[in-house]
Structure 1
Protein backbone atom coordinates (compact mmCIF):
# COMPACT_ATOMS: atom_id res chain seq x y z
CA UNK A 1 0.00 0.00 0.00
CA UNK A 2 1.37 3.38 -0.92
CA UNK A 3 1.98 6.01 1.74
CA UNK A 4 -0.64 8.26 0.14
CA UNK A 5 -3.34 5.59 0.44
CA UNK A 6 -2.23 4.76 3.98
CA UNK A 7 -2.45 8.45 4.99
CA UNK A 8 -5.83 8.80 3.25
CA UNK A 9 -7.20 5.77 5.17
CA UNK A 10 -5.83 7.19 8.41
CA UNK A 11 -7.72 10.48 7.88
CA UNK A 12 -10.95 8.57 7.17
CA UNK A 13 -10.50 6.24 10.17
CA UNK A 14 -9.81 9.10 12.61
CA UNK A 15 -12.76 11.15 11.38
CA UNK A 16 -15.19 8.26 11.76
CA UNK A 17 -13.81 7.36 15.17
CA UNK A 18 -14.32 10.95 16.30
CA UNK A 19 -17.80 11.10 14.75
CA UNK A 20 -19.18 7.71 15.83
CA UNK A 21 -16.92 6.67 18.70
CA UNK A 22 -15.50 3.82 16.62
CA UNK A 23 -13.56 3.82 13.39
CA UNK A 24 -13.58 1.01 10.83
CA UNK A 25 -11.44 -2.00 11.68
CA UNK A 26 -10.11 -2.21 8.12
CA UNK A 27 -10.18 0.08 5.07
CA UNK A 28 -9.30 -0.83 1.49
CA UNK A 29 -8.90 2.17 -0.84
CA UNK A 30 -8.07 2.46 -4.53
CA UNK A 31 -7.44 5.64 -6.50
CA UNK A 32 -8.96 5.74 -9.99
CA UNK A 33 -8.53 8.94 -11.99
CA UNK A 34 -10.32 11.60 -9.90
CA UNK A 35 -11.89 9.17 -7.42
CA UNK A 36 -10.91 7.46 -4.20
CA UNK A 37 -13.03 4.36 -3.63
CA UNK A 38 -12.95 3.03 -0.08
CA UNK A 39 -14.45 -0.16 1.33
CA UNK A 40 -14.70 0.02 5.12
CA UNK A 41 -15.12 -3.11 7.24
CA UNK A 42 -16.18 -3.33 10.90
CA UNK A 43 -17.83 0.07 11.28
CA UNK A 44 -20.65 -0.41 13.74
CA UNK A 45 -20.43 0.26 17.46
CA UNK A 46 -21.84 -2.33 19.88
CA UNK A 47 -24.85 -0.05 20.45
CA UNK A 48 -25.52 0.19 16.69
CA UNK A 49 -25.23 -3.60 16.38
CA UNK A 50 -27.82 -3.98 19.15
CA UNK A 51 -30.18 -1.45 17.55
CA UNK A 52 -29.81 -3.13 14.14
CA UNK A 53 -31.29 -6.40 15.42
CA UNK A 54 -34.74 -5.23 14.22
CA UNK A 55 -35.85 -4.08 10.77
CA UNK A 56 -36.59 -0.57 12.06
CA UNK A 57 -33.26 -0.52 13.85
CA UNK A 58 -31.37 -1.46 10.66
CA UNK A 59 -33.10 1.37 8.81
CA UNK A 60 -32.28 3.82 11.61
CA UNK A 61 -28.60 2.84 11.71
CA UNK A 62 -28.38 2.95 7.90
CA UNK A 63 -29.95 6.39 7.66
CA UNK A 64 -27.92 7.82 10.54
CA UNK A 65 -24.64 6.48 9.17
CA UNK A 66 -25.15 7.57 5.56
CA UNK A 67 -26.75 10.97 6.18
CA UNK A 68 -24.36 12.00 8.93
CA UNK A 69 -21.30 11.21 6.82
CA UNK A 70 -22.71 12.88 3.70
CA UNK A 71 -23.74 16.02 5.60
CA UNK A 72 -20.36 16.27 7.32
CA UNK A 73 -18.38 16.02 4.08
CA UNK A 74 -20.75 18.43 2.30
CA UNK A 75 -20.14 21.10 4.94
CA UNK A 76 -16.40 20.57 5.30
CA UNK A 77 -13.97 17.91 4.06
CA UNK A 78 -11.78 16.32 6.73
CA UNK A 79 -8.71 18.32 7.67
CA UNK A 80 -5.72 17.41 5.52
CA UNK A 81 -7.64 15.36 2.94
CA UNK A 82 -7.47 17.86 0.08
CA UNK A 83 -3.88 18.80 0.91
CA UNK A 84 -2.84 15.14 0.86
CA UNK A 85 -4.31 14.56 -2.59
CA UNK A 86 -3.69 18.02 -4.04
CA UNK A 87 -7.29 18.29 -5.22
CA UNK A 88 -10.59 19.72 -4.01
CA UNK A 89 -13.25 17.24 -2.89
CA UNK A 90 -16.38 17.79 -4.99
CA UNK A 91 -18.70 14.95 -3.95
CA UNK A 92 -18.99 12.02 -1.57
CA UNK A 93 -21.23 9.04 -2.26
CA UNK A 94 -21.56 6.72 0.71
CA UNK A 95 -23.61 3.69 1.72
CA UNK A 96 -23.48 0.94 4.33
CA UNK A 97 -24.75 -2.62 4.34
CA UNK A 98 -25.73 -2.84 8.00
CA UNK A 99 -26.21 -6.63 8.08
CA UNK A 100 -22.63 -7.27 6.90
CA UNK A 101 -21.12 -4.16 8.53
CA UNK A 102 -19.49 -3.06 5.27
CA UNK A 103 -19.54 0.50 3.97
CA UNK A 104 -18.44 1.95 0.66
CA UNK A 105 -17.50 5.57 0.06
CA UNK A 106 -16.66 7.11 -3.29
CA UNK A 107 -14.84 10.43 -3.03
CA UNK A 108 -14.92 12.47 -6.24
CA UNK A 109 -12.27 15.17 -6.65
CA UNK A 110 -12.06 18.01 -9.16
CA UNK A 111 -8.83 16.69 -10.72
CA UNK A 112 -6.94 13.45 -11.15
CA UNK A 113 -5.48 12.17 -7.84
CA UNK A 114 -3.44 9.19 -9.07
Structure 2
Protein backbone atom coordinates (compact mmCIF):
# COMPACT_ATOMS: atom_id res chain seq x y z
CA UNK A 1 0.00 0.00 0.00
CA UNK A 2 2.87 2.39 0.74
CA UNK A 3 3.95 2.00 -2.89
CA UNK A 4 0.55 3.14 -4.19
CA UNK A 5 0.49 6.03 -1.68
CA UNK A 6 3.92 7.09 -2.96
CA UNK A 7 2.78 6.84 -6.60
CA UNK A 8 -0.31 8.89 -5.67
CA UNK A 9 1.94 11.57 -4.13
CA UNK A 10 4.12 11.65 -7.24
CA UNK A 11 1.03 12.07 -9.43
CA UNK A 12 -0.18 14.98 -7.27
CA UNK A 13 3.29 16.58 -7.53
CA UNK A 14 3.44 16.08 -11.31
CA UNK A 15 0.01 17.67 -11.81
CA UNK A 16 0.78 20.59 -9.49
CA UNK A 17 4.08 21.19 -11.23
CA UNK A 18 2.45 21.15 -14.66
CA UNK A 19 -0.53 23.40 -13.82
CA UNK A 20 0.72 25.60 -10.97
CA UNK A 21 4.31 26.05 -12.10
CA UNK A 22 5.99 24.37 -9.16
CA UNK A 23 5.28 21.28 -7.16
CA UNK A 24 5.37 21.02 -3.39
CA UNK A 25 8.78 20.57 -1.76
CA UNK A 26 7.44 17.71 0.36
CA UNK A 27 4.30 15.60 -0.06
CA UNK A 28 2.80 12.77 1.98
CA UNK A 29 -0.30 10.80 1.05
CA UNK A 30 -2.19 8.45 3.36
CA UNK A 31 -5.12 6.24 2.48
CA UNK A 32 -7.79 6.17 5.19
CA UNK A 33 -10.91 4.24 4.25
CA UNK A 34 -12.16 5.72 0.98
CA UNK A 35 -10.07 8.88 1.42
CA UNK A 36 -6.66 9.74 -0.02
CA UNK A 37 -5.26 12.58 2.08
CA UNK A 38 -2.33 14.47 0.55
CA UNK A 39 -0.40 16.94 2.71
CA UNK A 40 1.94 19.24 0.79
CA UNK A 41 4.63 21.46 2.29
CA UNK A 42 6.60 24.13 0.46
CA UNK A 43 4.03 25.08 -2.16
CA UNK A 44 4.50 28.82 -2.55
CA UNK A 45 6.58 30.39 -5.31
CA UNK A 46 9.03 33.20 -4.56
CA UNK A 47 6.55 35.72 -5.99
CA UNK A 48 3.77 34.39 -3.74
CA UNK A 49 6.08 34.52 -0.70
CA UNK A 50 6.73 38.19 -1.49
CA UNK A 51 3.02 38.89 -1.98
CA UNK A 52 1.92 37.42 1.36
CA UNK A 53 3.72 40.12 3.32
CA UNK A 54 0.44 42.08 3.18
CA UNK A 55 -3.06 41.03 4.25
CA UNK A 56 -4.43 41.70 0.75
CA UNK A 57 -1.58 39.66 -0.74
CA UNK A 58 -2.38 36.72 1.56
CA UNK A 59 -6.03 36.86 0.52
CA UNK A 60 -5.14 37.03 -3.18
CA UNK A 61 -2.66 34.13 -3.02
CA UNK A 62 -5.10 31.97 -1.01
CA UNK A 63 -7.96 32.68 -3.41
CA UNK A 64 -5.84 32.11 -6.51
CA UNK A 65 -4.38 28.86 -5.16
CA UNK A 66 -7.70 27.38 -4.04
CA UNK A 67 -9.56 28.38 -7.21
CA UNK A 68 -6.78 27.05 -9.45
CA UNK A 69 -6.68 23.70 -7.65
CA UNK A 70 -10.48 23.38 -7.92
CA UNK A 71 -10.22 24.07 -11.65
CA UNK A 72 -7.40 21.54 -12.12
CA UNK A 73 -9.41 18.78 -10.47
CA UNK A 74 -12.43 19.40 -12.69
CA UNK A 75 -10.41 18.09 -15.65
CA UNK A 76 -11.69 14.54 -16.46
CA UNK A 77 -8.28 13.47 -17.81
CA UNK A 78 -6.61 14.35 -14.51
CA UNK A 79 -9.31 12.60 -12.47
CA UNK A 80 -8.92 9.49 -14.64
CA UNK A 81 -5.20 9.27 -13.75
CA UNK A 82 -5.99 9.07 -10.02
CA UNK A 83 -8.91 6.69 -10.56
CA UNK A 84 -6.79 4.36 -12.69
CA UNK A 85 -3.99 4.32 -10.10
CA UNK A 86 -6.23 3.29 -7.18
CA UNK A 87 -8.97 1.43 -9.04
CA UNK A 88 -11.81 3.57 -7.66
CA UNK A 89 -13.95 6.52 -8.79
CA UNK A 90 -13.51 9.99 -7.28
CA UNK A 91 -16.73 11.26 -5.70
CA UNK A 92 -15.46 14.64 -4.50
CA UNK A 93 -12.29 16.58 -3.69
CA UNK A 94 -11.63 19.02 -0.85
CA UNK A 95 -8.58 21.29 -0.94
CA UNK A 96 -7.21 24.18 1.08
CA UNK A 97 -3.91 25.88 1.85
CA UNK A 98 -2.56 27.60 4.95
CA UNK A 99 -0.64 30.51 3.46
CA UNK A 100 1.12 31.33 6.75
CA UNK A 101 2.41 27.76 7.19
CA UNK A 102 2.81 27.02 3.45
CA UNK A 103 0.97 23.73 3.90
CA UNK A 104 -1.76 22.55 1.54
CA UNK A 105 -4.12 19.62 2.07
CA UNK A 106 -6.18 17.85 -0.55
CA UNK A 107 -8.62 15.10 0.35
CA UNK A 108 -9.80 12.87 -2.47
CA UNK A 109 -12.98 10.95 -1.63
CA UNK A 110 -13.36 7.71 -3.59
CA UNK A 111 -16.32 5.37 -4.02
CA UNK A 112 -14.67 2.48 -2.14
CA UNK A 113 -12.00 1.90 0.51
CA UNK A 114 -8.39 2.31 -0.62
CA UNK A 115 -6.61 1.10 2.50
CA UNK A 116 -7.34 -2.57 1.78
CA UNK A 117 -5.11 -2.49 -1.32
CA UNK A 118 -1.95 -4.54 -1.10
CA UNK A 119 1.13 -4.22 -3.30
TM bracket (short chain): over 0.9
What is the Cα deviation at residue 74 of structure 1?
Answer: 2.4
Q: Does 1:98 align with 2:119?
A: no
How many aligned positions are there?
A: 114
> So what's the TM-score if we normalise by structure 2?
0.89
List gaps (5 residues or longer) in structure 1.
Answer: none
When the two chains are superposed, the root-mean-square deviation of aligned CA atoms in Å is: 1.4
In the TM superposition, structure 1's runs of 4+ consecutive aligned residues that sit over 6 Å from their partners are none
What is the Cα deviation at residue 82 of structure 1?
Answer: 0.7
What is the rounded CA distance, in whole Å, between the counterparts of 1:58 and 1:112 in structure 2? 36
How has the CA–CA distance of structure 1 residues 77 and 97 changed in structure 2, closer, same or farther, with 3 Å as cutoff?
Answer: farther
How has the CA–CA distance of structure 1 residues 14 and 65 changed in structure 2, closer, same or farther, with 3 Å as cutoff?
Answer: same
List gaps (5 residues or longer) in structure 2.
Answer: none
How has the CA–CA distance of structure 1 residues 60 and 5 changed in structure 2, closer, same or farther, with 3 Å as cutoff?
Answer: same
Which piece of structure 1 moves more, 69-78 or 86-95? 69-78
2:19–2:72 CA contact under 8 A, matched in 1:
no
Corresponding residue number in structure 2 for 1:29:
29
Task: Map residues 57-96 of structure 1 onto 2, 5 A cutoff.
Answer: 57-76=57-76, 78=78, 80-96=81-97
Q: Does 1:113 align with 2:108?
A: no
> So what's the TM-score if we normalise by structure 1?
0.93
